[in-house]
Chain A
Amino acid sequence: MRRAVLGALLAGLCWSGCSSAEPQDPEAPGSNRGTIAAPDPVWGGPPIAAHNTLEGGMELTVVAPTANHGLELVGVEVVGGTADVTVHYVTPGAMFVAQVLSPVRMEVPANLLGEATRVRFWIATVPRDAAGEAPPAKLSLIQTRG
Chain B
Amino acid sequence: MSGTLSVPTVAPARLVPEAEVRRPMFAGEVAVWLDPGQTAPDLRARGLDLETFGGPIAVYRVREAARRGRLEFGATLEESAEYATCVAAEGLTGIRGIRHAQPNYRYQHCIEPNDRFYSNQWHYPQINLPQAWDVTQGSASVIVAVIDTGIVSAHPEFQGRLTAGFDMISDPTNAGDGNGLDPNPEDVGDGTAAQPSSFHGTHVAGTIGANGNDGAGIAGVDWNCKIMPLRALGRRGGSSADIGNAILFAAGLPNASGTVPAKKADIINMSLGGPGTDTILTQACDQAAAADVLLVAAAGNDNSSQPNTPAAVPSVLSVGAVDLVKARAPYSNFSSTVDIWAPGGDMTADLNGDQFPDGVLSCMADDQGQLFFSFENGTSMASPHVAGVAALVKAANPSLTAAGLRDILTRTATAGANLPNGGRIVDALAAVQDAAAGGGGGPVTQPVLVATPTVLDFGETGTQLTLRLENRGTGFLTFVDATEATPSPWLDGTVISAAPGGNISDDRIDVVVDRSGLPAGVYSTRVTLEYSDGTNPFTTVVEVRMQVGTSGVLGDEIFVLLVDANSFETLYQVQTNALASFAYAFDGVDPGTYILVAGSDRDNDDLLGDPGELFGAWPNLDTRLSIQVTDAGALTGLDFALRELVVIQSSNPAGFVARRLR
Distance, CA A128 to CA B299, complexed state (A): 22
Contact partner of B198 among A67, A70, A72, CB < 8 A? A67
Q: Which of A115-133 contact B (CB under 8 A)?
A: 128-129
User: Does B195 lie within 8 Å of A66, measured CB to CB?
Assistant: no
User: Does A100 lie within 8 Å of B271, measured CB to CB?
Assistant: yes
Residues of A within 8 A of B237 (CB): 67-68, 92, 95-98
User: Does B274 lie within 8 Å of A96, measured CB to CB?
Assistant: yes
Which residue of B has the minimal Cβ distance to A103?
Answer: B347
User: Does B377 lie within 8 Å of A101, measured CB to CB?
Assistant: yes
User: Does B200 lie within 8 Å of A98, measured CB to CB?
Assistant: yes
Interface string of A35-79 (1 = CB under 8 A from B): 000000000000000000000000000000111101110000000
Distance, CA A96 to CA B376, complexed state (A): 19
Q: Does B380 contact A (CB under 8 A)?
A: yes
User: Does B274 lie within 8 Å of A101, measured CB to CB?
Assistant: no
Residues of B within 8 A of A92 (CB): 236-237, 274
Q: How large is the interface on B (under 10, 10 to 19, 20 to 34, 35 or more residues)?
A: 35 or more
Consensus secondary structure, chain A interface: loop
User: Does B381 lie within 8 Å of A95, measured CB to CB?
Assistant: no
Which residue of B has the minimal Cβ distance to A47?
Answer: B348
User: Does A128 lie within 8 Å of B238, measured CB to CB?
Assistant: no
Residues of B within 8 A of A100 (CB): 198, 200, 203, 271, 301, 376-378, 380-381
Q: Does A94 contact B (CB under 8 A)?
A: yes
Also in contact, A99 and B236, with CB within 8 A (given A65-B302, A67-B198, A67-B200): no
Between B148, B200, B302, B381, the greatest number of chain A beta carbons within 10 A of the residue's beta carbon is seen for B200
Distance, CA A88 to CA B219, complexed state (A): 40
Separation in Å of the A98 CB from the closest CB of chain B?
4
Residues of A within 8 A of B578 (CB): none
Interface string of A100-112 (1 = CB under 8 A from B): 1110111000000
User: Does B236 lie within 8 Å of A101, measured CB to CB?
Assistant: no
Residues of A within 8 A of B331 (CB): 65, 101
Separation in Å of the B516 CB from the closest CB of chain A?
50
Q: Does B243 contact A (CB under 8 A)?
A: yes
Residues of A within 8 A of B378 (CB): 65-66, 98-101
Distance, CA A25 to CA B331, complexed state (A): 32
User: Does B195 lie within 8 Å of A98, measured CB to CB?
Assistant: no
Q: Does B379 contact A (CB under 8 A)?
A: yes
Contact partner of B233 among A65, A70, A97, A106, CB < 8 A? A97
Also in contact, A101 and B198, with CB within 8 A (given A95-B237, A95-B274): no
Between A67, A68, A100, the greatest number of chain B beta carbons within 10 A of the residue's beta carbon is seen for A100
Residues of B within 8 A of A70 (CB): 192, 194-195
Distance, CA A99 to CA B302, complexed state (A): 9
Distance, CA A68 to CA B148, complexed state (A): 13
Which residue of A has the minimal Cβ distance to B276?
Answer: A94
User: Does A99 lie within 8 Å of B376, measured CB to CB?
Assistant: no
Separation in Å of the B507 CB from the closest CB of chain A?
44
Residues of A within 8 A of B190 (CB): 67-68
User: Does A99 lie within 8 Å of B243, measured CB to CB?
Assistant: no
Distance, CA A92 to CA B272, complexed state (A): 12
User: Does A96 lie within 8 Å of B243, measured CB to CB?
Assistant: yes
Distance, CA A36 to CA B240, complexed state (A): 51
Distance, CA A99 to CA B381, complexed state (A): 8
Residues of A within 8 A of B243 (CB): 96
Residues of B within 8 A of A96 (CB): 233, 237-240, 243, 272-274, 281, 309
Separation in Å of the A70 CB from the closest CB of chain B?
6
Separation in Å of the B278 CB from the closest CB of chain A?
8
10 A-B residue pairings within 8 Å (CB atoms): A67-B200, A68-B236, A70-B194, A71-B194, A92-B236, A96-B243, A98-B380, A99-B379, A100-B378, A102-B198
Apart from A65-B303, A98-B148, A100-B378, 6 more pairs, CB < 8 Å: A66-B273, A67-B233, A70-B194, A95-B274, A99-B383, A100-B301
